[in-house]
Amino acid sequence: MIGTENSVENERKKKAKEIIEKFFRQLTQGCGRENCTNSNCASNPNFQRVSINQAAALAIQLAQKKATLCESMESNSKNMEVSDDNDDVVTSKSCSTTNLRASSASSSKDFVQSLEDALKVVSSGNQQTSNSINFINEEKIFSLIQKCKDNFKNLKKDKMETDDKEEDHKELIKSYEPLFDLIKKVFTDYNCVAESFKFERDKINMSTTSPCIPPFNIDFNSVRRTFSILMSINGLYQEIEEVFNQSIYPLCVSIQFQLKKPKVEEEEVNKILHALLVVNELPLLENPGYMDKFIKAFYSTWIDLSPEACTKIVKLWSTWSAEELRPFLYRVQQYLTLEIVTKNLDLPDDDDDEYDDEENESANKKAIYKNEGLIGAINYLRIIYYSSIYGGRLDCDDQIKKERELEELENLERTESNREENEMFDGSSEISYLPDPIEKILNIRTIDCRESKIPSSEFINETVNQFIDVRNDYVEYTKQMQNQELIQQGHKTKTKKTYFSFLSNPFCVTLTKKNLALFYDNKIKMMRERRYNIMMSLLEGRMPTPYFKIRLPRQNLLNEALSLIELQEQENPSILRKQLFIEFENEQGIDQGGISKEFFQLVIDELLNKGYTFFKYDDKSKYYWFTPCTIETQQEFKLVGILFGIAIYNNVLLDVQFPPVFFRKLMGKIGVLEDLMFSHPDLHQSLISLLEFEGSDEEFEETFMQTFQISVSDRTTDSLVSFNLKENGDQIPVTKSNRKEFVDLYADFILNKGIEDSFRAFKKGFMKLTYNSPLSRWFTPEELESLLCGTKVLDWKSLEKATNYDSGFEQDTPYIKNFWRVFEEFTDEEKKLFLKFTTGTDRCPHGGLAELKLTIARNGPDSDKLPTAHTCFNVLLLPEYSSKEKLKEKLLKAIQYSRGFGLS
C-alpha cells in the first residue's frame, strides 16, 4: 500500500511538473501560431516579454489556476533556451529542457529552485477548485498551530526522551509541515492572499485603529496579530522566515507580470492591492538579510501600479495615524539606504563640466536609475507621502475651488498676453511641468495641506540624495514631461524612451539638489535664447545681443533699473530671458555674478527704505507687506515683480523679508485668517480675542463697538483711511452671530482684496520669468522663500570648515588661525558685513554657508593695503598683516566702508 501511495504521489508530481514546463514554454517561446489570442502566450502580439524568474513563477500560478494551455503546447515539445543577458529575458532558441535545468546560469538555477520548491504546492493546488481557494485568517492559523503542537506532543510520546536536540528539531519541523504548506499555498498566489484576513460583515466597522475603507476589506489588526503569532513560534523562527521568503518572491513576480499587461480589470487590481497590503504588514520586511531576496521583489511590484491604484492606497492610508504610517516610512528608508550603500558607488560630481554620458552610463546609472527595487521603493514612499498630505489638515473645499478658478483665469490671461506679444520667448522650447497624476485624481496640491501627518523633512533620504546625478536626472525628467504632454495630445507613438527621475518625486529630493536642477533649467533657457538671438542677428544683419545688459548710474538706481526693464519688456520681452549682465557707469568690473549681486542688494535697499509705498514694514512681525494705501501704479508693481523674477532666474538671493503668505500667494493660494499670525500678529490676536469672547451679546457689543468698516493707515499722509468690508458696512454692527463673517472679511481684505490690484500686477511680472519653470512643481512655498531670500539660520562654524585656501595659506597656518579668532570676535552684524564683502550679498545660500565655497588667498606680505575680494568667485584676498590687531583693524575697515568695485 505504501509503495502504491508513493507511486501515485510521484506520478502526480510528474504530471504537475510537465504542466508547469508546458506553461513555461508557452510563456517564453509561444505556441508558434501567428496572432495567438491567449493572453498568457508569447505568440500573442500584445504579450510582454518576461524574465526567466517571472516566467517560472507565472507558470506555477497558471498551473494552479488551471489556465488555458494552447493546443499546440499539448503535443509539441519544442526546445528552449535561457539567455543570460543583463535583462535576464527569455528568448525562443532551441535547446533541451534538461540543458536548461543543468545550466550553470544563475537565472536557470533560480527557475529550477522555484520549480522544485513549488511542486508540492502545485500538486495539492491542482486539486483545488475555484470555489475552494485557500486562505488564511487569525482563527485558522491559531487552530492549525494548536494541531501542530499536538502532533509534536504525540510524536514525543511515541518516542523515548532523548538529548538529541537536532533530532528533536527535525521532529518539530515535521510536526509543523501542515502550517508551512498552508503558508506556501496561500502566499504564492495573490488570489489566495486576496481572500485572506477579510472582515466579517458584522465586524467591518469595529476597528478603532488602522481602519479599512472600500474597495478594501482587510482586518489589519488581525493580520498583525497573525504574523506576530507565526514569528513567535518557539524554535521555528528561521523556518517560518524561509517559508515566507520562498513563497513571496514568486507571488511578487506573478503580480508584476499581471500589472504589465496592457489592460488589467479593476477587480483583478483590487485583489493585487489586497495582497500587497497584507504582505506589507509582514515584519520580515524589516530584516536586512532578505534585502536582495523577496524584499527587493516586493518593492519592485510597486513600480507598475497605475496612478488610480496608488490613489486607492493613498485614500486608505490617509485615514491612518502618523504612528501607524511611520514604520512603513522608516522601513523603506532603511531599504533605500542599504540598497545604495551596499553598491559601493562613486559620488557624482555635479561641478564637473566634462560630462561623458556614456561613461556615466555604467555603475551609478544601472545601480540607481535602472534599479527596480529602488525605483519601486521610491513609488512606495510617494504613496506614503501623499497619504500624509491627503490625511493632513487641508484648506477648506470652497477655498480650493476658488483658487482653481482664479488659476484658470490667470492662465487664460497669460496665454492671451503671450499671444499678443507674438511668442514672448521665441528661442525657448516650452515644456509643460504637469502635476503628479495622484494630485490630479485627488484634486489636491501639496500646498493645499497646512499640516501633513508626517513632516516633509522625514521623506528626504540624505544618503540617496548624495548619489543623485542632477544633470542626468534633469534630462530624464524633461523627457518624461514631454512624453506626458504627447500622451495627453493623443501622440503616444511619438514618446521617447525614458528612465527613472528623482525630480518626478521632488518630495524626496533636497533643496540643494532641486536648486541645482533649477539652475540647469534656467541656464538651458538662457543658452536657447542666446543661440536664437545670434541666429536671427545673422539673418537680419544686425549685431547680436547675447545678454540682457543693463548699464546704469548708482544714483536713483531703482528708477533707472525699472525704466530700462519697462523699455525692454515693451519692445523685446524675450531679452528678459537672457543672462543678466550689469555695468555701473564710470566703474570698471566685468559682471561674472558679483556685480549682479551688488545691484540687487542696492535696488532692494532703495525699494524698501527710500520712501516708496510698495510695501509697509510691521515692527512686530519684522515682515514687509503690501499696503492698500499705495501711490505706486500697477505698472510699477509689475516691474518690481519682473525684477524679483530676474533675480530668481539668475540665481541671485534678495535681502527681503516677506511673510509665508506672500510665497503661498505667489504659488496660487489665498490668504486666510491663519496667515495673519505671521504677517500681522497683533491684528491676528485681536481677531482671535473677538472670536473667543464668551460674554453676552450686549457685553460683546459694548466691549468691541465695531462695525463692518475698518481703518488702515496711509503712509503718505500719516492718516487713517476707512474701508467697508461689505456694502454699507459702516452701518452694520459686529455681533456674536456675525463675528465669524467679520473676521473672515477682515483677513480677506488685508491679505487679498485690499491689495488685489497691486499683488496681481506684481505676480504677473514675476510670472513673466517663471511661468514655464518647474518652480511650482518642485518647490513648496517654504522652499521658494529659501530660493528667493536664502536660509535664515547662519552657521558660521560650517563656513570655517568649508573654506578653501590658496597662494600660500593653509588651514593650519598660524595666520589663518588668527583670522578665524578675529572673525569669532565679530558681532553678528559684522559677520554679515563680511559675508556681503566677500560674496556680494549677506544672504545665506540654500544648503547653508558651507555651500558658499569661500576661498581665502594670500595677497602679499604685511602692508597698509586693505583686504579685497572677488565677489564673483567668493574669494577674499588677504595681506599677511604683522599682528592680529592690525588684521582686525584692516578687515573691519574694509567690510564697513566698501561699496562698488573700488574696494570689493
In this structure, are 822 and 764 located in the same domain?
no
In this structure, are 702 and 758 located in the same domain?
yes
- Higher-pLDDT residue of 125 and 774 is 774
- Higher-pLDDT residue of 71 and 28 is 28
pLDDT average, residue stretch 522-540: 83
CA-based R_g, the chain, Å: 34
pLDDT average, residue stretch 799-813: 84
Residue 30, pLDDT score: 82
Checking if the pLDDT of 388 tops 90, the result is yes
In this structure, are 853 and 770 located in the same domain?
no
In this structure, are 768 and 800 located in the same domain?
no
Checking if the pLDDT of 757 tops 60, the result is yes
Range in 167-181, 199-213, 257-271, 464-478 the model is least confident about: 199-213
- In this structure, are residues 613 and 632 in contact, taking their beta carbons and an 8 Å threshold? yes
In this structure, are 757 and 814 located in the same domain?
no
In this structure, are 640 and 742 located in the same domain?
yes
Residue 106, pLDDT score: 39
pLDDT band at 363 (very low <50, low <70, confident <90, very high): low
Residue 115, pLDDT score: 46
The proportion of the chain whose per-residue pLDDT surpasses 90, expressed as a percent, equals 25
- Higher-pLDDT residue of 636 and 591 is 636
Phi, psi of 791, rounded to the nearest 5 degrees: -85, 135
Residue 832, pLDDT score: 82
CB atoms within 10 A of CB 180: 20
Residue 519's Cβ-count burial label (10 Å; 0-12, 13-18, 19+) is middle
Residue 201, pLDDT score: 57
Longest dimension (CA), the chain: 111
Which domain-ending residue is among 21, 52, 70? 70
- In a domain, residue 184? The reply is no
- In a domain, residue 428? The reply is no
Number of domains in the chain: 3
Cell of 318: 490617509
Question: Which of helix, strand or coil describes residue 198?
Answer: coil
The proportion of the chain whose per-residue pLDDT surpasses 70, expressed as a percent, equals 82
Q: What is the CATH number of the domain that holds 823?
A: 3.30.2410.10
Cell of 248: 513571496
Q: Which amino acid appears at position 222 of this protein?
A: S
Q: Please list, residue by residue across 224-261, b when 16 or more beta carbons sit within 10 angstroms of its beta carbon and e when fewer do.
A: bebbeebeebeebeebbbebbbbbbbbbbbbbbbbbee
Name residues whose C-beta falls within 8 Å of residue 765's C-beta, 6 or more positions apart in sequence.
Answer: 637, 638, 639, 640, 641, 642, 643, 644, 645
Q: Which amino acid appears at position 16 of this protein?
A: A
* Spatial distance between the Cα atoms of 847 and 511, rounded to a whole number of angstroms: 7
pLDDT band at 353 (very low <50, low <70, confident <90, very high): very low
Residue 10, pLDDT score: 64
Residue 122, pLDDT score: 41
Per-residue model confidence as pLDDT tens digits over 693-725: 888 888 888 888 889 998 888 766 667 888 999
Phi, psi of 339, rounded to the nearest 5 degrees: -65, -35
Which domain-ending residue is among 768, 789, 810? 789
- In a domain, residue 328? The reply is no
- In a domain, residue 346? The reply is no
* Spatial distance between the Cα atoms of 891 and 904, rounded to a whole number of angstroms: 12
Mean pLDDT for the chain? 80
- In a domain, residue 516? The reply is no
Return the HEC string of 630-672: CCCCHHHHHHHHHHHHHHHHCCCCCCCCCCHHHHHHHCCCCCC
Question: Which of helix, strand or coil describes residue 349?
Answer: coil
Helices (H), 342-430: 357-360, 363-364, 372-390, 397-420
Checking if the pLDDT of 861 tops 90, the result is no
In this structure, are 644 and 692 located in the same domain?
yes
Range in 42-56, 175-189, 538-552, 670-684 the model is least confident about: 42-56
Q: What is the CATH number of the domain that holds 645?
A: 3.30.2160.10
Which domain-ending residue is among 789, 816, 831? 789
pLDDT average, residue stretch 500-528: 90
Cell of 581: 549682465
pLDDT average, residue stretch 177-206: 81
- In a domain, residue 324? The reply is no
Catalytic residues: 872
State which residues form the domain around 689: 607-789
H-run or E-run covering 228: helix 220-231
- Higher-pLDDT residue of 8 and 353 is 8
Checking if the pLDDT of 382 tops 90, the result is yes
- In this structure, are residues 277 and 313 in contact, taking their beta carbons and an 8 Å threshold? yes
Return the HEC string of 773-805: CCHHHHCCHHHHHHHHHCECCCCHHHHHHHCEE
Strands 393-394 and 615-618: unpaired
In this structure, are 706 and 671 located in the same domain?
yes
Per-residue model confidence as pLDDT tens digits over 304-343: 999 999 999 999 999 999 999 999 999 999 999 988 888 7
> What Cα–Cα distance (Å) separates residue 333 from each residue in 13, 294, 321, 325, 557?
42, 17, 19, 13, 51
In this structure, are 757 and 779 located in the same domain?
yes
In DSSP terms, 871 is beta-bridged to: none
Q: What is the DSSP letter of 577?
A: G
In this structure, are 767 and 890 located in the same domain?
no
Cell of 37: 489570442
pLDDT band at 164 (very low <50, low <70, confident <90, very high): low
pLDDT average, residue stretch 270-299: 90
- In a domain, residue 800? The reply is yes
pLDDT average, residue stretch 344-356: 55
- What is the number of alpha carbons within 13 Å of residue 102 lying toward its C-beta? 5
- In a domain, residue 833? The reply is yes
In this structure, are 749 and 776 located in the same domain?
yes
Residue 702, pLDDT score: 86
Question: Of 325, 279, 323, 282, nearest to 301 (Cα)?
Answer: 279
Residue 202, pLDDT score: 52
In this structure, are 715 and 814 located in the same domain?
no
Question: Which of helix, strand or coil describes residue 711?
Answer: strand
pLDDT average, residue stretch 112-116: 46
Range in 77-91, 748-762, 868-882 the model is least confident about: 77-91
Name residues whose C-beta falls within 8 Å of residue 817's C-beta, 6 or more positions apart in sequence.
Answer: none
Cell of 713: 493707515
- Higher-pLDDT residue of 157 and 4 is 157
pLDDT average, residue stretch 175-204: 84
